[in-house]
A and B are shown apart, each in its own frame.
Chain A
Amino acid sequence: MLSPAFLSQLRNLLPPHSLLHEREDLVPFESDGLSAYRNIPDVVVLPQNEAQVAAILQLCHAHKIAVVARGAGTGLAAGALPIDGAVLLVLARLNQIRQIDPLARTAVVQPGVRNLAISEAAAEYNLYYAPDPSSQIACSIGGNVAENSGGVHCLKYGLTVHNILKLRAWTVDGQLLEIGSDALDSVGYDLLALMTGSEGMLAVITEVTVKLLPRPDRAQVVLAAFDDIAKAGAAVGNIIAAGVIPAGLEMMDRLAIQAAEAFVHAGYPLDCEALLLCEVDGVNEEVSDDIFTVREVLAAAGATEIRTADSEEQRLRFWAGRKAAFPAVGRLAPDYYCMDGTIPRAQLPHVLKRISEMSAEYGLAVANVFHAGDGNLHPLILFDANTPGELHKAEDFGGKILELCVEVGGTITGEHGVGLEKINQMCTQFSTPELMRFHDVKAAFDPDTLLNPGKAIPELHRCAEWGAMHVQGGQLPHPELPRF
């Protein structure tokens, strides 16, 4: 519990209505996007500027009070789950776009700015911010940096770490760090990379300089159906071997296709085992060439049907089914778990076969959607939490899938982050000395373990249970947000 004296000092640092302490005000902050994990915070602070952030950190540091930073609260790994006795530092009110420099192709933004708002503001210069996580209408850039967020365009345009230049961040004791620069590189260690994906464990970000890219002339998508998921997997590799780097390359299995079609009527073929969506973008002439190549490769790989979207409307319709896959699958069962492993693409047929075998063993159906271009697999395990033992079975199954991802040379999380949710699986992926080095990195920034303690990196004694994204009643938290 936080003492009244501390709370009063905290309140004095902030303008009115910037500190929440009443239970009914605190409840909305009890979880992030992974609502299976809930904990009502002791206190929420909503600073409006950098100086207030620094003052809050200094005060908390002086009292050795932990701080959990939170952006828009759309994360899927309980990274922003409140911690008992800690201050929940919400950065949503730092929401100004400070500057757009069209000639240098950069935007300077505060952490609470929404991902999509950056591209909207840059649109008048025909520029955009490339990483596009599915929650981009709501998620904030500060959270994107904390999670190293991706999106469907990662293979070609990279993750957050590839698309930012500079951070203003504050150490646990309230000192300013300027990390990165307006140039393309900086001296010393690459702290920009270290900060990206650090899940609020190293410092608190108050400003981000992002790179902007010119909007491509044209984007076009090809849809292909296959009677065998292994053939679809091989086609993905063949497209890349043909020298094409698609802007998006997505795969769905039979159950996901049928659920999506029933939900949004995208016009998908239903008599197939796998569906590929391959989007190419770039200079007009290049897109024409690439579409031709992609169609040839898909035909040679044994696609049973190939369609090219010939209008923007059709392009969006092809995508609509894929983008609605999560809620569509959510209609098939009372609950589902979404996993987030990444595997080397060549392992896809093997991994899907193993998942299908395990599905039979556990008696739980699985729908698979796959960012095929970058190997990021989202198996959705269907279950009913009201059936005794099923939740536990689904969690167990999910853990086995993540272990399988590690076993074939992949990782337990491609884009959702570790947070509290996957903290146990970190023990599967990393050895004790490696985990110790992670704790060392943390200690180099935060020796008293006050920033988001207990998340992302497991204590060495804790290596036992499984965890996964738990979706209740087919409803993700923030059901209004697309998830794919």
Chain B
Amino acid sequence: MLGTLIERIRAAHADSLPLILQGGGSKTFYGNADEGEVLSTRAFTGVVDYQPKELVLTARAGTPLAEIEALLGEQNQMLAFEPPHFGGPATLCGSIAAGLSGPRRPYAGAARDFVLGVRMIDGTGQPLRFGGQVIKNVAGYDVSRLMVGAMGTLGLITEVSLKVLPQPAAQATLQFELGEAAAIEKMNQWAGQPLPLSATSWHAGLLTVRLSGATSAVHAAQARLGGEALKEASAFWQRLRDQSTPFFDKRPSTLNQGLWRLSVKPTAPPLNLGDAQWIEWGGAVRWLVSDLPAALLREHAQRCGGHATLFRGKAPVDGVFAPLAPALLALHRNLKQRFDPRGILNRGRLYPDF
């Protein structure tokens, strides 16, 4: 199967034919439109190695996330970056290539933080291996992490090794009625204290906070913070992770309306860009359903120390991701040229011109 993937990419390279790399297809809505024949990793599955005591799991590209999470669950372990499934058959390497993380991200780290090594095939069909299965490794440039979030434009990830973590012994979710500005301040204040925070959310006047850790620590924090305990909490966080709540499900009511993800400095004040907003990640992500012009949203996000991405909806002319500064764009082009000289892998998915 690996041989087939290599052959397909070699052939596509030889003929300069573009390929669309695809896992479970759960994130086809994300990124810019790409072109070409689909090359699926769905058949290239299997956990290659899992050593609970090493906190390391290695699996092939097409292995379903759900299967990996079930296997980890048997050992009371987890993928701490809580990758979204988006209600589809998300695969391991699709999740890594997209680089998306769920509610635990600000407190445990992002997908890229847990990647220890990858096997990949570059745009010429050359199989390569970077990083490894150990936590500390500074030999060579960190190409493994470069692949995370590159949306398959630098190579097809065929296998990944991840650091995994123990599941917390206890969890509790608390809710507080609070205005937007006060909620942002609270999220940031609490993150600066030794509290076992593992997720935060604010929507429609309600701040929701998850605590995870040793039973005693969760109880102590709960007593300290107060609030109302939320029942059905795991369903709440899973719906937020997978964007299956009505807020995210909202079909754009006009042609120009889209779901925007504004990634900002966590302490950025309320954006005042409309009421259809959901805040996550301790204030660092603000989801907006908006028909405001892309340029305005991007400028706003940039002033708040970050960037705006059109997550779902009709792409602006310059693409769904914020344009890069010229010096950075030049580096992106150079890297793309080196890893995929004929531009056959997910052409245009990240930026329209490569």
Residues of A that sit less than 8 Å from B by CB: 101-105, 125-127, 147-148, 150, 154-155, 158-159, 161-162, 171, 175-179, 181-191, 193-194, 196-198, 202, 214-217, 237-238, 240-241, 243-245, 282-286, 288-290, 342-346, 371, 374-376, 409-418, 422, 426, 429-431, 433-434, 437-438, 440-445, 456-457
Contact = CB atoms under 8 A, between A and B. Distances in A.
Given A101-B267, A346-B51, 5 more contacts: A183-B266, A285-B214, A344-B54, A422-B139, A437-B122
A243 B215 CA distance: 13
B27 interface: no
Interface residues of B, number: 87
A198 B141 contact: yes
Interface in B137-191: 137-143, 145-146, 148-150, 154, 165-167, 169, 185, 188-189, 191
8 contacts: A158-B113, A161-B113, A184-B263, A190-B112, A243-B167, A282-B196, A285-B214, A410-B134
B217 A440 contact: no
Contact of A443 (B109, B321, B338): B338
B140 A438 contact: yes
A194 to B, nearest CB: 5
Contacts of A148: 138, 142
Given A344-B51, A346-B51, A429-B139, A215 B194 contact: yes
B313 interface: no
B42 interface: no
A104 B53 CA distance: 35
Given A289-B214, A457-B140, A189 B146 contact: yes
B132 interface: yes
Interface in B183-231: 185, 188-189, 191-196, 213-217, 219-221
A103 B267 contact: yes
B76 interface: yes
A285 B219 contact: yes
Contact of B146 (A193, A342, A433): A193
Contacts of A443: 334, 338
Contacts of A105: 188, 191-192
Please list the 10 inter-chain residue pairs (A to B) with the smallest Cβ-Cβ separation, ordered nearest first. A182-B305, A183-B306, A237-B53, A285-B216, A193-B145, A444-B334, A440-B338, A286-B217, A414-B136, A243-B166
B235 interface: no
A187 B307 contact: yes
Contact of B134 (A104, A217, A414, A431): A414
Contacts of B110: 184-185
A186 B145 contact: no
B114 to A, nearest CB: 10
A415 B136 contact: yes
Interface stretch (B18-26, B33-41, B325-333): B325-333
A346 B142 contact: no
A176 B75 CA distance: 47
B145 A240 contact: no
A189 B136 contact: no
B70 interface: no
A237 B75 CA distance: 13
Interface string B115-144: 000000010001011101111111111110
B13 interface: no
Contact of A374 (B136, B154, B220, B306): B136
A429 B138 CA distance: 12
Contacts of B167: 243
A345 B217 contact: no
* Most B-side CB within 10 Å, residue of A181, A188, A289: A188
Nearest to B105: A184
B306 A182 contact: yes
Interface string B255-267: 0000000011111
